[in-house]
A and B are shown apart, each in its own frame.
Chain A
């Protein structure tokens, strides 16, 4: 995945960049399956490698395909990014190690959801139960966000019948 992203950064042909992005999304979905996140992997594969790539290709068709020569001074952004990376690495040391059962993430609310979820809601898929029932308000907000995005794109791209090209 790292190699894909580096290739994406260097690639100047935008169509190639979009295809690389699709590859990256598929790899991400595979990694997510390896991490036992099956719902998320399905969504990432469908959305990231499917819809996102289609929309990017649609926009690419409308805007044209090559990127101009890169910045003459790539030093400042590079230094900035590496500095941010260093800060993140410093902060990451305080985080629990990979797959630690005593980590706080596993000891507060999650065991309750895993135990009580199927009993209270009758739904074995705990992710769906949490999404639709325990955290239903968040999902309502998310549906509204999707709706707003659709409405926004309509507002931006709708052609008026009276205006001529």
Chain B
């Protein structure tokens, strides 16, 4: 099964991505959702960096004695992505803290119930 053997890095990536997405959709707790989002983001890092690796190569720092290097371009993109990811996480956490102070809970259903009760009034 060459599909399995040649592409095993992609299988792992897909599993992590689907797991992250499942946590994001299926859990009602806002903090859990943010964790699922973070898992989803890191699976994307793997998606970009795995194809850049060349077996027998080395890190893309030019030095004596090495000829084959792994591809530096995805490293640059993912470096930016990691930092942007933590920025998003921080803002999300700040919003969750404020929601907690406004509603008293961070469970999605309870928050929606409170909103609906407000609307009826």
Residues of A within 8 A of B (CB): 1-2, 5-6, 8-9, 14, 17-18, 21, 24-25, 28, 31-32, 35-40, 43-44, 47-48, 51-52, 55-56, 58-60, 62-64, 67-68, 70-71, 74, 77-78, 80-82, 84-85, 88-89, 92-93, 95-99, 101, 103, 105-106, 109-110, 113-114, 117-118, 124-127, 130-131, 135, 138-139, 142, 145-146, 148-150, 152-153, 156-157
Contact = CB atoms under 8 A, between A and B. Distances in A.
A157 B80 contact: no
B51 A149 contact: no
Interface of B: 2-3, 6-12, 14-23, 25-29, 31-32, 34-36, 38-39, 42, 45-46, 49-55, 57-63, 69-76, 78-80, 82-91, 93-98, 100, 106-107, 110
Q: Which 6 A-B pairs have the closest CB atoms?
A: A97-B6, A149-B87, A77-B26, A85-B18, A36-B70, A59-B93
A59 B96 contact: yes
A81 B18 CA distance: 6
Of the candidates B2, B11, B22, B82, the one having the most CB atoms from chain A within 10 angstroms of its own CB is: B22
B62 A40 contact: no
* Chain B, interface SS category: helix
Contact of B50 (A14, A24, A51, A98): A98
A88 B50 CA distance: 16
30 contacts: A2-B19, A5-B39, A9-B27, A35-B49, A35-B53, A36-B59, A37-B78, A38-B59, A40-B79, A48-B42, A55-B90, A55-B93, A56-B89, A59-B97, A63-B31, A63-B100, A68-B28, A88-B18, A92-B10, A98-B50, A105-B52, A110-B71, A114-B62, A114-B72, A117-B62, A125-B60, A126-B69, A146-B84, A156-B94, A157-B94
